[in-house]
């Protein structure tokens, strides 16, 4: 199991399977078609976001799986 998968398993109940929606909410400039090609694979989603947002894998993973699910403390626009 990858580090990303183990982090995603720690997400609160009811948030699984929504990584694409969360990524689009946080980074609205993402290409939804390209995101859909990831097929729900967390590693591919994180890699795509990291490339788009010019962030590290750890930064993207931490943002997508934050337990508080509130608004991010920073703005990407």
The tens digit of pLDDT for each residue in 28-48 reads: 899 888 988 888 888 999 999
With a threshold of 0.75, does the pTM exceed it? no
Dist CA 42 CA 7 (whole Å): 10
The structural domains of the chain, with segments of one domain joined by +, span 3-10+17-64
pLDDT tens digits, 44-70: 999 999 999 999 999 998 888 765 555
Work out the burial of residue 10: count CB atoms within 10 Å of its CB; fewer than 13 is exposed, 13-18 middle, 19 or more buried: exposed
Q: What is the pLDDT of residue 73?
A: 58
């Amino acid at each position: 199991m990858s580090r990303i998968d183990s982090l995603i398993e720690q997400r609160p109940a009811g948030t699984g399977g929504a990584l694409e929606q969360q990524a689009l909410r946080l980074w609205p400039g993402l290409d939804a078609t390209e995101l859909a090609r990831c097929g729900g694979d967390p590693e591919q989603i994180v890699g795509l976001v990291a490339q788009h947002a010019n962030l590290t894998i750890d930064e993207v993973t931490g943002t997508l799986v934050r337990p508080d699910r509130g608004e991010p403390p920073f703005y990407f626009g």
